[in-house]
């Protein structure tokens, strides 16, 4: 009888290892998808009404394991310029602002503006591995007649690596590896999260593409990875249970 127990234990051991491998692979898949989906340069809020004043915060994570982020270059769309684009000071960092002369001045309640910010570069500080830094600006007012603003960003590391967050999502295609931060502009008075004015659908020039925002895609990817991971773990557990019951019945018949 002692010989009969050995195969049963070995069978259950093999089934257990199979379940552990499946579960481990599922967890690895979830972690990989989560890292890909959420370690981007992003903008908060993701939407704001046209013509409003908004504080925009760009979250910059460090994705390197042995180098620090030492520079962030942010391109500000000028096809639909922002009259007053003010930079919030960040301790340890120096902001350099570039402007362009507008062919047609912007007239607001605060006056007429013939120039607009086209680029902001932060230098002098460090974002160490495993950390992130927020860079905030004030935009007053946000443009009208456009559905989105795309703020392309270039991140430079201390080892010379450069990551260009400039890609735009394409319909029917997976999220790009380095998506640009996208601010959706809703119809004036519609409130945050409302559908954007259809007039913005054609505003694809100079960083104002009407492609979907990256945050929604990131959340969807993370959710899909979690669902697949849970299904894998459940399937592995079920296989282990079936294997254990099958060996138990064979042992009793013998």
Longest CA–CA separation in the chain, Å: 95
Per-residue model confidence (pLDDT) at position 185: 98
> What superfamily in CATH does domain 41-210 come from?
Uncharacterised protein YcnI-like PF07987, DUF1775 (2.60.40.2230)
Cis peptide before 141 (omega within 30 of 0): yes
Sequence-distant (≥ 6) Cβ neighbours of residue 83 within 8 angstroms: 106, 108, 110, 113, 116, 140, 141
Mean pLDDT of 130-155: 97
CA distance 76 to 139: 10
Per-residue model confidence (pLDDT) at position 32: 40
Average pLDDT in the chain: 76
DSSP 97: E
Q: Percent of the chain having pLDDT more than 90?
A: 57
Sequence-distant (≥ 6) Cβ neighbours of residue 126 within 8 angstroms: 68, 69, 70, 92, 158
Per-residue model confidence (pLDDT) at position 29: 43
CA distance 154 to 146: 24
Q: What is the pLDDT of residues 143-199, one digit of tens each?
A: 999 999 999 999 999 999 999 999 998 999 999 999 999 999 999 875 444 333 333
Per-residue model confidence (pLDDT) at position 190: 57
Q: Percent of the chain having pLDDT more than 70?
A: 59
Q: What is the pLDDT of residues 234-251, one digit of tens each?
A: 445 454 455 555 444 444
* CA dist list (Å): 222 to 36, 39, 42: 9, 11, 16
Domains of the chain, by residue range, sit at 41-210
Tokens of 21: 């491998």
Cα 42 versus chain centre, distance = 6
Listed in sequence order, the DSSP H helices in the chain are 2-38, 214-253
Q: What is the pLDDT of residues 219-235, one digit of tens each?
A: 444 454 544 454 554 44
pLDDT higher than 60, residue 128? yes
Per-residue model confidence (pLDDT) at position 14: 54
Antiparallel, parallel or unpaired: β 42-44 and 54-61: antiparallel
**Does the CA dihedral 143-144-145-147 come out positive or negative?**
positive
85 falls in which pLDDT band (50, 70, 90)?
A: very high
Mean pLDDT of 132-136: 98
């Amino acid at each position: 009888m002692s010989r009969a127990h050995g195969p049963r234990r070995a069978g259950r051991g093999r089934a257990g290892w199979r379940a552990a491998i499946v579960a481990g692979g599922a967890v690895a898949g979830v972690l990989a998808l989560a890292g890909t989906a959420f370690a981007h340069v992003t903008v908060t809020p993701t939407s704001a009404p046209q013509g409003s004043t908004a504080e925009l915060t760009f979250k910059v994570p460090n994705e390197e394991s042995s180098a620090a982020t030492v520079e962030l270059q942010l391109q500000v769309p000028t096809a639909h310029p922002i009259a007053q684009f003010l930079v919030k000071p960040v301790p340890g960092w120096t902001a350099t602002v570039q402007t362009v002369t507008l062919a047609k001045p912007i007239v607001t309640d605060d006056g007429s503006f013939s120039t607009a910010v086209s680029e902001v570069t932060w230098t002098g500080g460090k974002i160490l591995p495993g950390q992130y830094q927020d860079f905030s600006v004030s935009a007053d007012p946000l443009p009208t007649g456009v559905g989105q603003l795309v703020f392309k960003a270039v991140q430079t590391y201390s080892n010379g690596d450069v990551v260009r967050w400039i890609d735009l999502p394409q319909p029917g295609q997976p999220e790009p590896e380095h998506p640009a931060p996208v601010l959706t502009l809703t119809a004036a008075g519609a409130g945050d999260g409302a559908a954007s004015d259809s007039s913005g659908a054609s505003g694809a020039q100079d960083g104002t593409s009407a492609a979907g925002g990256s945050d929604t895609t990131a959340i969807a990817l993370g959710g899909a990875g979690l669902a697949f991971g849970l299904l894998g773990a459940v399937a592995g557990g079920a296989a282990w249970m079936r294997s254990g019951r099958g060996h138990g019945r064979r042992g009793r018949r013998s």
